[in-house]
Each structure stands twice: as structure tokens, then as C-alpha cells.
Amino acid sequence: MGCAAACERGTMPIALFQRHNCRNVNQTFRFPARLYATVSCYSAMKLHSTDTRQYQTVTAYDENGVEINAVYFNHSLMVMPESEPQAWPVTSFEALAPGHFEAINAAAPEVVILGTGSRQRFIHPKLVTSLTARQVGVEAMDNKAACRTYNILMAEGRRVALALIIEGTQAPQGTVAA
């Protein structure tokens, strides 16, 4: 049965329905198991705007730092959606130690996105034993990908931590990044 005949009769086999591309809108198709569906024959994705102003959102990034809610940071930091960005005392990827991840573990995230600088590098599993013991996922990627991934997971309502290594800079004194 062709597209035109299926649309006129209102019935369509599942295999044909999956690749249906005619221009009739909101047709009702009957499947063999008496399952009915009304579909639009146009392929489109509806996007919805999400208001994330009350959360810590990455608004920009470059090679030297990151902007969280329009405030620029040029040092390593840890960000969670519902708390202020925290200075993270890591100056380079090679300087990572298990104690750095203990601080992240204290915030109780369900997943950690680790920005490893300008290129992706993988961390040794011994460094994140405090997180893996709690079954917290740790994903390592370059800083730009980490920022994008954090925003997506944060917008989904996940309890995500973003830990960014901004190399060659020292975090300011105190615990809150500024």
C-alpha cells in the first residue's frame, strides 16, 4: 500500500508508518492490533525554553576561564546547580590528588563532569575511589565539552558537579570563587 492510499484509508502498516513522509497533517492510522495513533506527517522537533536563572549556569567559556551566570572566573573551580561556585585548588591535571575529589564527594553529586583543560585526558581510577564507592559517575572531557555537558545535565534537573581545571592559575584565597 502506498502513502496516498494509506492516508486516504486511514490505515497504515507499522513498517510503512515508520518511514511515512507525505504532507497530510494529523492523519489517524490504524495498526493491526487495533492501536490508533494521530500523527503529523511533518518531521519537526518542538523546542522549549528553560528558565535556569536560579541555577549556576555556564554562560561563556574560553581558553583562559569560564563565565558562570555572567561572572568570569580564571581559576579552577567546582560548580553545582544550586550553590555558589567554589574555588578548586588544582593548578594542573598532573597535580590532581584523591583529596581534590573528596571535596567534590562532600557535595554529594550524582555525576561529576571533569574538565581536564584544553584537551581531554583520562584520570586514574585511584583518584576517584571516594566517588566510585558511592556509585557516582565521573566523566572526563576537555573544558569546552564539560561546560556544554554540565548545562544540559543541569537543565534536566540532575545533581551534577562541574569540576574545571583552568591550568596555570592559582585559586584565590578562601572557599568561594569570586
CA distances from 106 to 23, 80, 176 (A): 55, 12, 15
Q: Does domain 58-164 have CATH number 3.40.640.10?
A: no
Name the more confident of 37 and 153.
153
Cα(41)–Cα(37) distance, rounded to whole angstroms?
12
Name the more confident of 161 and 177.
161
pLDDT for 170: 65
Convert the pLDDT of each residue in 58-93 to its tens digit. Answer: 999 998 999 999 999 999 999 999 999 999 999 999
In sequence order, the 6+-apart residues with CB closer than 8 A to the CB of 28 are 10, 36, 37, 38
**Which of 111, 118, 117, 121 lies closest to 152, judged by CA?**
111
pLDDT for 168: 74
Domain boundaries, the chain: 3-39, 58-164
Convert the pLDDT of each residue in 114-171 to its tens digit. Answer: 999 999 999 999 999 999 999 999 999 999 999 999 999 999 999 999 999 998 766 5
φ, ψ at 59 (rounded to 5°): -100, -15
Neighbour order of strands in the sheet with 71-73: 58-62, 65-68, 71-73
φ, ψ at 7 (rounded to 5°): -70, -40
Would you tell me how many other CB atoms lie within 10 Å of the CB of residue 43?
Answer: 7
Neighbour order of strands in the sheet with 137-141: 83-87, 77-80, 160-164, 111-115, 137-141
